[in-house]
Amino acid sequence: MNFRTSALLLVSTLCSGATLAAVQVNLSKDVELLAVNGEEIGLRLFSKSELQLEDGLNQFVLRASKLVRQANGEFEKFNSDPVIITFNGKDQKIQLSPQGDIATTVDADHFNKQPYFTLSSSSHVQVEQELLPRGPGITRDYEKEIARFNAQRNIPIGKASIESQFSEKQMDSTEKATSVGAKSNSLKMVKAQYLALTEEERKQFLSWAVAQ
């Protein structure tokens, strides 16, 4: 089943007055961002809730992600199938959230049959969204899946189309060797970052870690 939709949306105004310098995207707390303009984000300590993108064609991959209640009253983590959203915007604010309420495992199963996200914008925005087809392999490679998706549909978006806040500079062989050594200290760094958090931030982190 193809869940692709294409619509020109006119929705309620989120802001007025001052002209925006770019496209600002605010994500619901129930949305997990997986990739932006062809670049996978990777694991983050805290989820990204706001993006600022250049005007024009942009694309991201995301999924609904939250704790849902089981029939016995206990909670489990729900991650929907990834959806790829391509839109063309200019000088506007966009609010993005899963369509409908996802509170229980029944709600989650219903949502995952046809994942759909609502985009509320301060002005018209042309949007296409559909499930991101899975590539071969046990684990997902979002960057390859996105590249294949865009090539098949002639969508002119690639990792070079923006300078992303998630980008890492290209490393030569010497830097790569240094990077490998640095990764061995990653656990120590995580521990140090955890100890530097406030009590409230530690509670948030532990809740997030348990839910993964």
pTM comes to 0.67
Tens of pLDDT along 93-128? Answer: 999 999 999 999 999 999 999 999 999 997 888 899
Cβ contact 104:69 at 8 Å: yes
**Residue 7 · residue 87 · CB < 8 Å:** no
- Residue given tokens 């392999």 in the structure block: 137
Q: How far apart are CA 21 and CA 19, in angstroms?
A: 7
SS3 readout for 25-71: EEECCCEEEEEECCEECCCCCCCCCEEEECCEEEEEEEEEEEEEECC
Residue 128 contacts residue 87 (beta carbons within 8 Å)? yes
pLDDT confidence tier of residue 171, bands split at 50, 70 and 90: very low
Domain boundaries, the chain: 33-153
Q: Return the pLDDT at 162.
A: 40
| pLDDT of 6 higher than 50 | no
For residue 174, pLDDT over 50 is answered with no
Provide the pLDDT confidence category of residue 21 given band limits of 50, 70 and 90: low
| pLDDT mean across residues, the chain | 78
Q: What is the tens place of the pLDDT at every residue in 175-212? A: 444 444 554 565 666 666 767 777 777 667 766 665 55
C-alpha closest to that of 135 among 119, 152, 148: 148
